[in-house]
A and B are shown apart, each in its own frame.
Chain A
Amino acid sequence: MREARGSGRAGLARPRPERGTPPAGVPVPRARRAQLHPGAWWLWALALGTAATRTTNPLLLALLITVSGYVVAVRRPHTPWARSYGAFVKLAAAVLLLRLAFAVFLGSPIPGTHTLFTLPEVPLPDWAQGIRLGGRVTAEGLTFALYDALRLAALLICVGAANALASPSRLLKSLPGALYELGVAVVVALTFAPNLIADVRRLRAARRLRGRPDKGVRGLVQVGLPVLEGALERSVSLAAAMDARGYGRTAEVPPAVRRTTAALTLGGLLGVCAGTYGLLTAEGGSYGLPVLLVGLASALAGLRLGGRRTLRTRYRPDPWDARAWLVSASGAAVAALLILAGSLDPGALRPGVVPLEPPTLPLWPAAAVLLGLLPAFVTPAPEAAPDPRKEPTT
């Protein structure tokens, strides 16, 4: 993997901007950020997630989780965001347990003969027909719930992988210029949450200093107001700082362009709505698609024209290079092959639970899932971990 990074360097050289070569004496950058376009990571991860929705075979799902987990393990950068993977894994486990608990206590619509144990059933009145509390718990019902939950868990873990490999704020930086301000708003909101959590922790600690219990719900409620006050103050000072640094400077555009932009965007969005409606209703089949396409094109043109209003330039945009193609293609291939397998051989991808039979690993869909490992070999390794000593305070 180390070699992959070294040999890949040349291919990653950023294209020099065409605006003329920089004058002599430009400092030579020592370390280039060998980073993959965040969009490629998100496409790859979401494609794996799509693949996960096409199957309930626990072996295939486990393989998918392993593949995405391996790529995350070897390629995630050393940023605080990358730690969110653990949180997603925990969430997935919680979903799994919750689904099983529901299957045990609320019963399962799956008929089954292998009774594992019987819970005392709570008799419910007539109007609650179809709801059952307690009762027989069958192996079939549990297995079905497990398969079902595993699929959702795999999907969650794939989203977590996308988060860990490329933070959403990096993804937002690739938005077109016209949507830039929206992107900044989201980024600020994203950085806000960790600050808020830190504030809650600090203030709960401070309660202890006052001799009040620092645990429990009451403690949380009482720090609510100061935390919100602090958050408000911080957002005001951030807004001031952003304004003082030139956020929101706009270029003068001729009124004609402004009007055209508005017309194109609004018209385009209307077209998209009408087209979608046409596609979905029975009689609109003939005009639906063309209207949708025209609307989409006009909306995109509006966005592009709207970009003229912003002066903003972009510092070292992540290039969409051959590796980005490879990574997103590998994800797309996994998704496409599993969809194909689903239509060719539905039995292998959805192992039966009635009658109960052990799942088998279908060979070529499994091989297809392994394609998802490609990013672990074609992308650059993350930089060595930064100095682990970090500021505990101040």
Chain B
Amino acid sequence: MIRFENVSVTYDGAARPAVRDVDLEVPEGELVLVVGPSGVGKSTVLGAVSGLVPHFTGGTLHGRVTVAGRDTRTHKPRELADVVGTVGQDPLSHFVTDTVEDELAYGMESLGLPPDVMRRRVEETLDLLGLADLRDRHISTLSGGQQQRVAIGSVLTPHPKVLVLDEPTSALDPAAAEEVLAVLQRLVHDLGTTILMAEHRLERVVQYADQVVLLPPGERPRMGAPADVMAVSPVCPPVVELGRLAGWAPLPLTVRDARRRAAPLRDRLEGRQPERHTTEPRTAPPVKRLFGRAKKPHDGAPEPVAEVRSLAVRRDRVRALTHVDLTVSPGETIALMGRNGAGKSTLLGAMVGLVAPSSGSVRTGGAVPHRTRPRDLVRKVGLVPQEPRDLLYADTVAAECAAADRDAEAEPGTCRALLTELLPSVADDSHPRDLSEGQRLTLALAVVLTARPPLLLLDEPTRGLDYAAKARLTAILRRLAAEGHAIVMATHDVELAAELAHRVVLLAEGEVIADGPSAEVVVASPAFAPQVAKILAPQPWLTVAQVKEALER
């Protein structure tokens, strides 16, 4: 269905080709996953299928890509539109019209399908993707998972033979991701659609793949059965990592397979306790709502760095938060979890003064954030937003660091020193836009840390990071926590929460529905439990690192 023959792509002005010697064939009706660390050219390979590379991005493509017998050299993307459907990383930039139904019809209108066929397919697709109730809704009012489903639906209606998806679940909460993956499964099984997709969150998708294409940096890509490729892949989900550690062969890809093999491992681990990497903070017990107003006696518990009391936020007549209580102690790491739109970002925004509370109170470091001057507030609390690029204005890393020193009234060179400590490889003269996702996040983190805030807030820090970048971030955050920084992060990444957080706070519909030690909260929920916890339940292991350490002890 898709053939790559000796394909190399070199972008204009780049010294080296973005991908080299890709030679593979995707048979009809298979779900093929493209994996590899950041920056190995996954998006380039995907773009070459729809013809957007090189027709839209520029650059030179050597070799030949054919899709359903059509050569992308002679066919422009619009002439491939009836065989290839493409959904990019950001569904919002994909939408042309403003309502769900029109969006589903748009592609068919461009292809000139007769009205009765369009009508039928729109209805079918609405049912297939469970969008029937949303048909008249404005796209901007949908949640992330719904938008992703609409984006997939909008390329499905012309009945393409091939579907190309770039990171379809990265921005989604676990439940929404499963929703989207279920749809993809259905397409492959019922309609025989060929799917080529790239995804960083391998733990979510690898079990659905028929074949995996590995793009290792600097080597020829290899393609094979998921278990074989995962055995050598530099990026792999926790279940595979655990399998490699325990020496299981063939490697299990699903929690179910792993559990069946895990009995001996569970026996070996019997009687041992996971050792926490992080030092337990002297944490104040979570405030119980009933007694929320009662003043606690200060029995040696440290002054909290942030205190949120019965906070409510309304925005555009929508209740984003209702009656939220949260106390953050120094040195404590808290993971805020919950669906897209549960109010996680709003809570972080309220703690840093971006959002004014409608009722209730927020105090960070003794100040009321939305009434404090930004200049003073940076020394009390720092937020790394979902899109770290928003924080960066300057043309070079050096200028950015100098600006950060000025903003924070810190010694010149403070920010650069921090950055070097966190990420030595970043050159002074590179443009923040040219950095990889992980480097940019680290730069933003250094900028925020320049003012030495005791409380650090992170909004979706692992979005778009590969496993290596995530491991680096985890190490950095762990060190910051050990230095006494309190960290609150909103995340969908259960593995990150399991690895770092002392406490997990679950939000739903703007309310706190669970607040407790991460081991308890995370393991109790089937959606939020990390893979290792599921495999080794009922034992209290959360991460591969813990298991590894226990075995070596």
Q: How far is the CB of A180 from chain B (nearest CB, A)?
A: 9
Which of A22, A194, A213, A392 has the largest count of B CB atoms less than 10 A from its CB? A392
Interface string of A222-252 (1 = CB under 8 A from B): 1001100000001001111111111111010
A90 to B45, CA, bound (A): 51
Tell which of B107, B119, B124, B447 touches A316, judged by Cβ atoms closer than 8 Å.
B119
Interface flag for B244 (CB, 8 Å)? no
B83-101 contacts to A (CB < 8 Å): 84-86, 88, 90, 93-99, 101
- Contact yes or no, B110 A391, CB < 8 A: no
Size bin of chain A's contact surface: 35 or more
> Which residue of chain B has the shortest Cβ distance to A214 in the bound complex?
B374
- Residues of chain B lying within 8 A (CB to CB) of residue A167: 98
- Contact yes or no, A249 B112, CB < 8 A: yes
> Which residue of chain B has the shortest Cβ distance to A210 in the bound complex?
B407
Tell which of A29, A222, A314, A315 touches B393, judged by Cβ atoms closer than 8 Å.
A222
Interface flag for A254 (CB, 8 Å)? no
Interface flag for A322 (CB, 8 Å)? no
A274 to B447, CA, bound (A): 65
B339-370 contacts to A (CB < 8 Å): 340-341, 343-346, 349, 352-354
Tell which of B124, B154, B340, B403 touches A391, judged by Cβ atoms closer than 8 Å.
B340
- Contact yes or no, A209 B448, CB < 8 A: yes
- Residues of chain B lying within 8 A (CB to CB) of residue A389: 318-319, 341, 509
- Ordered by A's residue number, 9 sampled pairs between the chains whose C-beta atoms are within 8 Å are A22-B119, A205-B349, A209-B374, A211-B451, A311-B112, A315-B105, A315-B118, A392-B315, A394-B143
Interface string of A264-300 (1 = CB under 8 A from B): 0000000000000000000000000000000000000
B121-137 contacts to A (CB < 8 Å): 122-124, 127, 132, 135-137
A31 to B383, CA, bound (A): 45
Interface flag for B391 (CB, 8 Å)? yes
A17 to B115, CA, bound (A): 7
Q: How far is the CB of B431 from chain A (nearest CB, A)?
A: 11
A209 to B154, CA, bound (A): 37
- Residues of chain B lying within 8 A (CB to CB) of residue A17: 114-116
Tell which of A212, A239, A313 touches B109, judged by Cβ atoms closer than 8 Å.
A313
- Contact yes or no, B120 A26, CB < 8 A: yes
- Contact yes or no, B385 A244, CB < 8 A: no
> A244-B78, A388-B317 are known contacts. Are A208 and B140 too (CB-CB below 8 A)?
no
A246 to B448, CA, bound (A): 44
Q: How far is the CB of B382 from chain A (nearest CB, A)?
A: 7
- Contact yes or no, A391 B142, CB < 8 A: yes
Tell which of A22, A33, A80 touches B138, judged by Cβ atoms closer than 8 Å.
A80
Interface flag for A203 (CB, 8 Å)? yes
Interface flag for B141 (CB, 8 Å)? yes
- Contact yes or no, B84 A244, CB < 8 A: yes
Interface flag for B282 (CB, 8 Å)? no
- Contact yes or no, A249 B78, CB < 8 A: yes
Interface flag for A9 (CB, 8 Å)? no
- Contact yes or no, A205 B144, CB < 8 A: no
Q: How far is the CB of A288 from chain B (nearest CB, A)?
A: 41
- Residues of chain B lying within 8 A (CB to CB) of residue A27: 120, 123-124, 127
Interface flag for A30 (CB, 8 Å)? yes
- Contact yes or no, A240 B78, CB < 8 A: no
Say what secondary structure dominates the interface of chain A.
loop
Interface flag for A129 (CB, 8 Å)? no
- Contact yes or no, A315 B109, CB < 8 A: yes
A314 to B105, CA, bound (A): 9
> A210-B404, A311-B111 are known contacts. Are A80 and B140 too (CB-CB below 8 A)?
yes
Interface flag for B196 (CB, 8 Å)? no
A29 to B448, CA, bound (A): 53
- Contact yes or no, B393 A226, CB < 8 A: yes
- Residues of chain B lying within 8 A (CB to CB) of residue A202: 387, 390
A388 to B141, CA, bound (A): 9
- Contact yes or no, B56 A315, CB < 8 A: no
- Residues of chain A lying within 8 A (CB to CB) of residue B386: 393-394
- Contact yes or no, A245 B154, CB < 8 A: yes
> A312-B109, A315-B108 are known contacts. Are A241 and B390 too (CB-CB below 8 A)?
no
Interface flag for A131 (CB, 8 Å)? no
> Which residue of chain A has the shortest Cβ distance to B94 in the bound complex?
A241
B316-343 contacts to A (CB < 8 Å): 316-320, 340-341, 343
- Residues of chain A lying within 8 A (CB to CB) of residue B345: 392-394
> A80-B138, A206-B391, A388-B318 are known contacts. Are A248 and B377 too (CB-CB below 8 A)?
no
- Residues of chain B lying within 8 A (CB to CB) of residue A31: 135-136
A20-43 contacts to B (CB < 8 Å): 20, 22, 26-27, 29-31, 33
Interface flag for A2 (CB, 8 Å)? no
A117 to B349, CA, bound (A): 52
Tell which of B96, B113, B393 touches A188, judged by Cβ atoms closer than 8 Å.
B96
Q: How far is the CB of A306 from chain B (nearest CB, A)?
A: 15
> Which residue of chain A has the shortest Cβ distance to B395 in the bound complex?
A225
> Which residue of chain B has the shortest Cβ distance to A173 in the bound complex?
B102
- Contact yes or no, A386 B141, CB < 8 A: yes
- Residues of chain A lying within 8 A (CB to CB) of residue B107: 245-246
- Residues of chain A lying within 8 A (CB to CB) of residue B377: 208, 211
